[in-house]
Amino acid sequence: MAGGNIPQFYIVDGDGNVMFANEGSGIDLEARRALPGLLAHVRESADGSATVSLSSTVLLRAGTIRGTGGIWHAVFREVFRERTIAADATERYHLTPRERQVGELLIAGKATGGIAHSLRISPATVQSHLKNIARKTDSHRRTEMLVKLLDVKSVEA
């Protein structure tokens, strides 16, 4: 795991009820609130997996487990100390150096105004860079863009 962190791990049923949690990792309120949306993404995905970003340093990932007892979902909550754009994402998505800087600040949790202040550019210019990154990564939401820039792999069920 990134940064040497051990993820929290849950097994949930189709309704989002936690059936099992690894030692000492009762599901927190933030993850509990995100669980219905995450499970909806899992059900809609072709491969039965999905990833959502709860914040710039917290990911919630899920995959479907089919067994004799029915359909369950394995959910991992990972916390990272520091996250940066994946090494090959700049080349894969043909990001300019400035787009990479904007992406790094987005990953750090900065909003448009904070990115503009940090880079000494206007918020409109930040929005332009974000639109370019979204187009290049074929992303429709910032969360989706973050997942692609971080090269997050969905949990394989």
* Range ranked top by mean pLDDT from 33-37, 111-115, 150-154: 111-115
- Note whether 45 and 57 are within 8 A (CB): no
Other C-beta atoms closer than 10 Å to the C-beta of 59 total: 22
Q: Name the residue ranges covered by the structural domains of the chain.
A: 2-82, 89-144
- CATH node for 89-144: 1.10.10.10
**23, pLDDT greater than 70:** no
Confidence (pLDDT) at 3 = 41
pLDDT the model gives residue 148: 83
| CA distance linking residue 88 with residue 148, whole number of Å | 11
d(CA 90, CA 148): 11
Q: Distance between CA 111 and CA 56 in Å, rounded?
A: 11
Residue range 2-82, CATH number: 3.30.450.20
Mean pLDDT of 38-64: 79
Question: What's the pLDDT band for 13 if we cut at 50, 70, 90?
Answer: confident
pLDDT at 135: 96
| CA distance readout (Å), 48 to 55, 56, 73, 100, 156 | 23, 24, 9, 31, 8
pLDDT in tens, 72-95: 888 877 776 556 776 778 888 999
Over residues 120-130, the pLDDT tens digits come to 999 999 999 99
pTM of the model: 0.52
Average pLDDT over residues 119-143: 93
Residue 29 has pLDDT above 70, yes or no: yes
